[in-house]
Every structure is written in structure tokens, then in C-alpha cells.
């Protein structure tokens, strides 16, 4: 049977490779899923345009106003399939303890058997597309290569935006390529699985068409699989932005930053300097908005690349005021998912895009919608745009540098109303790992759960770490030995509130004032004061020129409430308890040190 399918596949489309390991694996998946035809994706514009036309003809995508949004399309996913499903996401390794308490686990052989039944014949009547792709710059020291097999044109076109893909990748494929299989099947949510097999370098997703579950180069490969590869090979795969700050002297210094959702990550990645800073010659450069791969360079510093080629951003709330750079990025060559269709001019709309919503629209499900009769949102709250990074007005000139950029600072951040100060610096690398391991945000009214409830999200990696979180922290600690000149580690909190619940710090562009202090600390250009939790700025060292924040207010933002931090230490100890013997002793000692300093 396998030979029959191999012969049929070769009749469908000339392979782009003679690599037998690649061809044998594809033959096996063809025999399993039984597509009507198989097409290799070469990445050419002609082939992609043909697929766009086909998707529009079948209704899978809708071509938008090409004068206002050239090269842009609208896609609607199934209403039951609109977000990542953490409950259906698994790390399948031989030992359950290697997956850890924060990942769903199943024995690999049991999961393979379950999935094979679901995949059997799942592509009958459909086309299988073979997508060779690269994470990071093709041929670079950072690059990792994979193939995703899918029956979705939507996936092909999104992967073309999000990754380097096609014929240029094929010569780099070897027996270690990451194997990915995706089938839409019947979109049954009860049989929806997103599974990583880290010991086999295999990704399998089925019964989903939503990007976060099926664009396998993103969270599946770039974080869950790559974090495990990084552990084995001595590097880090992190859920981090990469930002370059150019000062008036023309120096560009780079930071990475990890933030849970709704904590200002995208805004910081595409930071626009305040007006006064712009006049003085400051510039900000976006290298990456979501993922960073970090390796030790020959100079002993940590160097980072963004392994992606595009942005997969949340649409609602993105507008000309909140993030003009992100909005500008979407104006060409973008695929919008689950936003509203503005029938007045064949463009798109979502909540807070403009003050006045369109009077005539189709909502994210394709139903008539108007502001006067609406019973629900026009766009799904998790609606997305997939946009080429090259569109971003502040994209870094180093975006395609195969060697990456040198990192001076690592910034962790969360959303805390009272506890965490505006910014503080860790005492050293080990303390910095502790700070990252206890990252937390408090739930807002828009989030599921109790308002004010604290949710820990270590390094913003809780849903994305491909192995035991305790081992992940130990890998961070071990990395210090390899980094002769490690970046300094900081924590920020833009979300301190007053007694009425109003934000005290203005945020957005003004956050550059804090990042400026962070970078000055990295280059020993400014002092700091030691506190129980780390080093905090002296009030006079944060530039307040042109911002409506006085020194007294700033002093309150830089205060440490010992009672709140004693409670925080109790919560950290309870959080750490779930990791048992896997909790690195170094972190246990860091917690004991914090507790002792708070009692003194």
C-alpha cells in the first residue's frame, strides 16, 4: 500500500528533494491520511497566488478592498475553533515526570495510536500540501528546519507570512528535520489535539483550523519543541520580544522581554519614543514581537534572533492610538481572521479600531451586524491578523541578520495593582532567574476567574515550555556558566493603580523612560538603591521631562510594601510546592533569602 501511495504522490507533483528520510516520512503520512493529491509548496508568488484564488473560490477566504488593503484577505474559522486550547495540548514523552505538572501528558505510544485512528483517511477528497519551512534566517547558525503537512490552504498562506518557506529551505533538510502533520478532519472539538513529541521532534494537530493550533512553526515548534532542543544544545527558546533602543549618540542597545498576555508586550515591542525623546534623536527598532531564540556568541554575550518572519497579532484594541506601528503593519499582505467585514467599503473592522463602528457589516461569524442591533461583538475577542514583519514602520535593520543582535537586558513583566514596583533589577543572574520564575499577573474583569486573583506564569512560558518547568529553570541557571558577559535581568510593572483603581504610570511611549534607566544600569551609567527585592532606581534617575508624573508620584511607584511582599513570598512558596524535588535548590535559597530580608 505504501508503494502505491508513493507512486501516486510522485505523479501528483515533482518532489523538491531526493532526501529519502523526508520522502519516506511523507509516504507514510500520505498512506495514513489518504489525500486525493499531494502538492509541494515551493514558496513562489505564482503558486501562492493560485492558492489564494482557490481559497476565495471555495469561500475559505474573502478578498478585501485591494485599493485600501492590497494583498489582504479575510478568513473565518469555525465558531468552536477560535483560540489555543491548552486543555487539548499535550507534551508526550516517555516519562510523565519529564513533562512536569504544568503540561498535559499521555504516553507517546498511546497518543500515537489515538491520533492514527483520527488521521486515518482524514484527507480523503482533499489535497495535502507539503510545506518545507525554516525558523530563523535560512542557513544561519540559529536556523532549524521542518516540514508541515496540511490539508488547509489557510495554513499554507499563513506559514508563507510567518516563516521562511519553500524551495530555498529544502537543501537544508536532513534526517533531524521537525516533522509536522496537520489535518482539519471534521473540526470535532472533542477530538481536537495539539500534540508535541519532544523526544521524536514530531508535532501533530488535528480537528482544528485556528492559527495558534495549526501554524506549527509558531508555539508548537518555536517554543515547545525548540525549548527542549535548547536544553539539549545549550541555548534558550523564549516567549520574548526583542527591542533595539537607539540613543542620541547613535548607539543601538537591545533588550528582550517576557510578558504574559494583556501586559503590554506588543506595545513595548513596537515602542514609539515620547515626543521629547524623538526630538533628541531617540529611535526604537522592533526585532521581534513574540519569540526569541538566544545563543551565546563568540564574545561571551547572549545573542538573540526572532525565528519568525511575521506577526500573528490580536486585532481588538489595536488602533492608531494604542499601537500605530502594529496597525500600519496590517495594511498590506495581511490575512485577517475572525474580524468583522465592513460592507461599506469591503475592509475590516474590530472593536476599538475606530471610534465609530460601521453601520453595515458582517460579524466574525458572517452574520449581519450593526451597532444599533448588535447582541454580540463584531469581531471575536481573539480575532487575529497575520502580517509580514517587513511592513512594520519600526522593523529593525537587523531583522534578517543571521547572527542576531547582542542582548544587554532581559525584562520580565506582569500586571500587579500594588505589589511590584515600576521597575527593579535583580541582584545577579541567579536572582534574575528567581524573578522570572515567579512572574505573576492579576486577573482583570475581562479574564476568566476572580478579579485580582494572581496567576503565576514563569518567564511567560507556562503554556509553552516543552518539558518540566523545574528542569527549565535549572537550564536557565546552568546557562550562566556559558555566558561570560550575561545580560542584566529586570522586572517591570506598568500597572500600579491608585485607591480608585486608576493606573498611576501613563505607560505606552512613556515606558521608554524606564527602559532608558534599565540600559543605563547595564552599562554602569547610573546608580541604584538596594532593597529587599533587588535594586531600585533613585527617583532623580528616571527622566520625567515632558510627562505628567511628579517626583512624589514616582517615589510611590518605586516603593516596596513589606507586608504585601511577605504575602507574596507565601504565595511563591505555595506555587513552588507543586514542583517537588525538581525545584532547583538555588531558587529555594533565593526564596529563603527574600523571606529573611523581609523579616529583618
Cell 486585532 maps to which residue? 315
Ramachandran region, residue 389 (left: φ > 0; alpha: ψ -120 to 50; beta: rest): alpha
The rounded distance, in Å, linking the Cα atoms of 483 and 493 is 27
The rounded distance, in Å, linking the Cα atoms of 42 and 352 is 38
Are 183 and 206 spatial neighbours (Cβ–Cβ below 8 Å)?
yes
List 294's β-bridge partners, or say none.
236, 304
Distances from the Cα of 311 to the Cαs of 52, 135, 287, 478, in angstroms? 19, 14, 11, 31
Which residues, other chains included, contact 302 with Cβ-Cβ below 8 Å and sequence gap of 6+?
Answer: 294, 295, 296, 406, 407, 483, 486, 487
Are 62 and 189 spatial neighbours (Cβ–Cβ below 8 Å)?
no
Distances from the Cα of 291 to the Cαs of 97, 135, 256, 265, 311, in angstroms? 26, 11, 9, 11, 10
Which residues, other chains included, contact 198 with Cβ-Cβ below 8 Å and sequence gap of 6+?
Answer: 91, 93, 224, 225, 228, 466, 467
The rounded distance, in Å, linking the Cα atoms of 152 and 263 is 32
The rounded distance, in Å, linking the Cα atoms of 129 and 424 is 49
Q: Say which of 263, 392, 394, 465 is annotated catalytic.
A: 263
What are the grid coordinates assigned to 375, written together? 447582541
Instruction: Give me the sign of the Cα torsion angle 241, 558, 432, 465.
Output: negative
Question: DSSP character for 221?
Answer: I
Quick check: is 522 catalytic? no
Helix ranges (H only) for 77-207 are 96-99, 108-119, 153-162
Give the CA count within 13 Å in the CB-facing half-sphere of 456. Answer: 18
Distances from the Cα of 172 to the Cαs of 17, 113, 144, 276, in angstroms? 10, 31, 9, 47
Burial readout 95-120 (b: 16 or more C-beta within 10 A, e: otherwise)? eeebbbebbebbebeebbeebeebbe
Are 163 and 308 spatial neighbours (Cβ–Cβ below 8 Å)?
yes
The rounded distance, in Å, linking the Cα atoms of 148 and 128 is 10
Give the CA count within 13 Å in the CB-facing half-sphere of 362. Answer: 14
Catalytic residues: 263
Amino acid at each position: 500500500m505504501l508503494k502505491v501511495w508513493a507512486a501516486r504522490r510522485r505523479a501528483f507533483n515533482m518532489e523538491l528533494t531526493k532526501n529519502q528520510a523526508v520522502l519516506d516520512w511523507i509516504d507514510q503520512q500520505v498512506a495514513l491520511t489518504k489525500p486525493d493529491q499531494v502538492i509541494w509548496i515551493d514558496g513562489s508568488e505564482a503558486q501562492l497566488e493560485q492558492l489564494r484564488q482557490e481559497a476565495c473560490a471555495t469561500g475559505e477566504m474573502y478578498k478585501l478592498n485591494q485599493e485600501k488593503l492590497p494583498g489582504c484577505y479575510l478568513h473565518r474559522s469555525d465558531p468552536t475553533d477560535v483560540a489555543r486550547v491548552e486543555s487539548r495540548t499535550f507534551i508526550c514523552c516517555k516519562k510523565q515526570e519529564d513533562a512536569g505538572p504544568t503540561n498535559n501528558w499521555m504516553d507517546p505510544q498511546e497518543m500515537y495510536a489515538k491520533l492514527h485512528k483520527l488521521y486515518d483517511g482524514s484527507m480523503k477528497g482533499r489535497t495535502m500540501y507539503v510545506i518545507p519551512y525554516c525558523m530563523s534566517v535560512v542557513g544561519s547558525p540559529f536556523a532549524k528546519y521542518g516540514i508541515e503537512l496540511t490539508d488547509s490552504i489557510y495554513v499554507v498562506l499563513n506559514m508563507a507570512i510567518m516563516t521562511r518557506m519553500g524551495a530555498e529551505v529544502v537543501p537544508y533538510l536532513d534526517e533531524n528535520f521537525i516533522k509536522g502533520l496537520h489535518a482539519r478532519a471534521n473540526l470535532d472539538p472533542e477530538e481536537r489535539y495539539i500534540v508535541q513529541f519532544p523526544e521524536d521532534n514530531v508535532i501533530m494537530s488535528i480537528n482544528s483550523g485556528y492559527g495558534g493550533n495549526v501554524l506549527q512553526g509558531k508555539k508548537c515548534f518555536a517554543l515547545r519543541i525548540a525549548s527542549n532542543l535548547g536544553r539539549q544544545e545549550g541555548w534558550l527558546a523564549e516567549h520574548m520580544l526583542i527591542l533595539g533602543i537607539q540613543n542620541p549618540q547613535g548607539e543601538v542597545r537591545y533588550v528582550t522581554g517576557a510578558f504574559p498576555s494583556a501586559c503590554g508586550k506588543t506595545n513595548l515591542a513596537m515602542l514609539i519614543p515620547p515626543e521629547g525623546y524623538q526630538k533628541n534623536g531617540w529611535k526604537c527598532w522592533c526585532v521581534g514581537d513574540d519569540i526569541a531564540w538566544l545563543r551565546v556568541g563568540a564574545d561571551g554575550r547572549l545573542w538573540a534572533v526572532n525565528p519568525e518572519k511575521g506577526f500573528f497579532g490580536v486585532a481588538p484594541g489595536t488602533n492608531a492610538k494604542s499601537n500605530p506601528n502594529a496597525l500600519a503593519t496590517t495594511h498590506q499582505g495581511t490575512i485577517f481572521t475572525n474580524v468583522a467585514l465592513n460592507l461599506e467599503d469591503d475592509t475590516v473592522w474590530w472593536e476599538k479600531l475606530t471610534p465609530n463602528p460601521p453601520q453595515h457589516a458582517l460579524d466574525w461569524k458572517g452574520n449581519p451586524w450593526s451597532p444599533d442591533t448588535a447582541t454580540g461583538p463584531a469581531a471575536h475577542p481573539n480575532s487575529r491578523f497575520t502580517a509580514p514583519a517587513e511592513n512594520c514602520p519600526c522593523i529593525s535593520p537587523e531583522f534578517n541578520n543571521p547572527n542576531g543582535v547582542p542582548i544587554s537586558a532581559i525584562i520580565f513583566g506582569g500586571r500587579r495593582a500594588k505589589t511590584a514596583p515600576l521597575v527593579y533589577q535583580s541582584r545577579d543572574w541567579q536572582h534574575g532567574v528567581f524573578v522570572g520564575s515567579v512572574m505573576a499577573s492579576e486577573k482583570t474583569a475581562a479574564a476568566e476567574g476572580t478579579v485580582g486573583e494572581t496567576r503565576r506564569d514563569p518567564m511567560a512560558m507556562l503554556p509553552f515550555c516543552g518539558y518540566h518547568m523545574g528542569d527549565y529553570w535549572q537550564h536557565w541557571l546552568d546557562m550562566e556558566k556559558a555566558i561570560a558577559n550575561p545580560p542584566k535581568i529586570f522586572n517591570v510593572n506598568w500597572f500600579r493603580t491608585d485607591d480608585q483603581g486608576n493606573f498611576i504610570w501613563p505607560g505606552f511611549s512613556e515606558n521608554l523612560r524606564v527602559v532608558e534607566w534599565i540600559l543605563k544600569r547595564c552599562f554602569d551609567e547610573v546608580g541604584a538603591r538596594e532593597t529587599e527585592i533587588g535594586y531600585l532606581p533613585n527617583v532623580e534617575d528616571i527622566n520625567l521631562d515632558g510627562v505628567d508624573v511628579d517626583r512624589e508620584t514616582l517615589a510611590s511607584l518605586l516603593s516596596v510594601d513589606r507586608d504585601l511582599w511577605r504575602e507574596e513570598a507565601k504565595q511563591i512558596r505555595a506555587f513552588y510546592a507543586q514542583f517537588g524535588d525538581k525545584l532547583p535548590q538555588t531558587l529555594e535559597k533565593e526564596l529563603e533569602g527574600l523571606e529573611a530580608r523581609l523579616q529583618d
